[in-house]
Structure 1
């Protein structure tokens, strides 16, 4: 039993490292992300990866499931805020930290469990947007899809990615501060305004059809 616990703890550490590495590699390589690069970034052998996941698809499916749980949790926490604006800010900043899984669109077969988790996440997020609209803190012409697309855009930071590739640890904290400023500027753009947004509001099909 004593020998089992360290092995289990090691497996859990490897799992967390693999999932974090997969997110980081996806942010840079997108659909071209390889299992080898994910394993190397996580600091685990390719054999360890395949002992935990039978294929890259299974790894990515698990990654989507975890992200959906996280998005549901941050939406529900946002709804729990007394101030609807604070709740919306909590969601956006937390979701940006989770990162976008858009590069996986069209690459991963949607399982029943993924669909169920997605429905729960969508419901909580829609309630958060409705609460912000009803309180008048979110501009009336901003839709839920607008906010999701904003999160997707803010989830990628070319500056931070470039500095990480260059090994410039001395500049990373300043780059993260700069990213936080950009996020704050973008959030201010969600506040009510007399200037209408251009074009027609995006529909759910624009956001979700790429996963088909």
Structure 2
């Protein structure tokens, strides 16, 4: 079923949407660099808005974090749709992985069990999961992705690349991360026939972490 078409916002609605996205991007930056204990005042300052503006949109820090989670899953879904639109199943999967690493998917994992899961969060997660499953299944059908790699394997792999990568003098963190990511993605290819150690990760286990109070 195709995704519903979202009407384009205009005027005040468009401005409000841009301001809200600026807050979300500021929250992503602040919580990534300072940790989730960072005050929301740091988010407002980074976004260039007053605390009143922030609290009119998000009454609590938890609401802001919940929206940040939804935004992340919407980005995952968008990356998966773009990957599925790629003619080559392998390049589509690679594009998906690189995009998710670039925006920091996985950095919100420490929030599991620390905030309430809203219906919007659950719906966004399920939608992104369906698209990611389809992307992985397509690469499997094409014989390009090793058969024992699951969608959850790839999600956890992406999460690992959300961490800081120490870089030697003269090289950037992004450069080192890109190299390591290329090595990891080569390991996903079907021509690697040796069995992976252990069993595949249990998706239900990781989903249950978010439901733990």
Q: Paired residues, what number?
A: 198
Root mean square deviation of aligned Cα? 2.6
In structure 2, the residue matched to 1:103 is 110
Distance 2:14 2:86 in 1: 37
Contact 2:165 2:176 in 1 (8 A): no
Which residue, 119, 129, 132 being the options, matches 1:122? 129
- Displacement of 1:158: 4.2
Distance 1:15 1:83 in 2: 35
Distance 2:37 2:30 in 1: 9
Give per-residue Cα distances to partners, 1:25-74, cap 9 Å, x unaligned. Answer: 33234442331232233333323211221111111121122222221121
Give per-residue Cα distances to partners, 1:61-111, cap 9 Å, x unaligned. Answer: 211222222211211221121111001001101111221221321222222
Residues 1:190 and 2:195 aligned together: no
In structure 1, the residue matched to 2:68 is 63
In structure 2, the residue matched to 1:85 is 90
In structure 2, the residue matched to 1:27 is 32
The residue correspondences of 1:142-157 to structure 2 (distance < 5 A) are: 142-157=149-164
Distance 1:118 1:84 in 2: 22
Relative to structure 1, the CA distance from residue 8 to residue 130 in structure 2 (aligned partners, 3 Å threshold; closer, same or farther) is: closer
Residues 1:18 and 2:23 aligned together: yes
Distance 1:159 1:180 in 2: 13
In structure 2, the residue matched to 1:164 is none
In structure 2, the residue matched to 1:206 is 205
Structure 2: runs of 5 or more not aligned: 1-10
What is the TM-score when the length of structure 2 is the normalising length?
A: 0.81
Residues 1:140 and 2:139 aligned together: no
In structure 2, the residue matched to 1:49 is 54
Distance 1:103 1:30 in 2: 10
Greater helix proportion: 1
Relative to structure 1, the CA distance from residue 8 to residue 148 in structure 2 (aligned partners, 3 Å threshold; closer, same or farther) is: closer
Contact 1:65 1:117 in 2 (8 A): yes
Relative to structure 1, the CA distance from residue 22 to residue 103 in structure 2 (aligned partners, 3 Å threshold; closer, same or farther) is: farther
Distance 1:34 1:127 in 2: 38
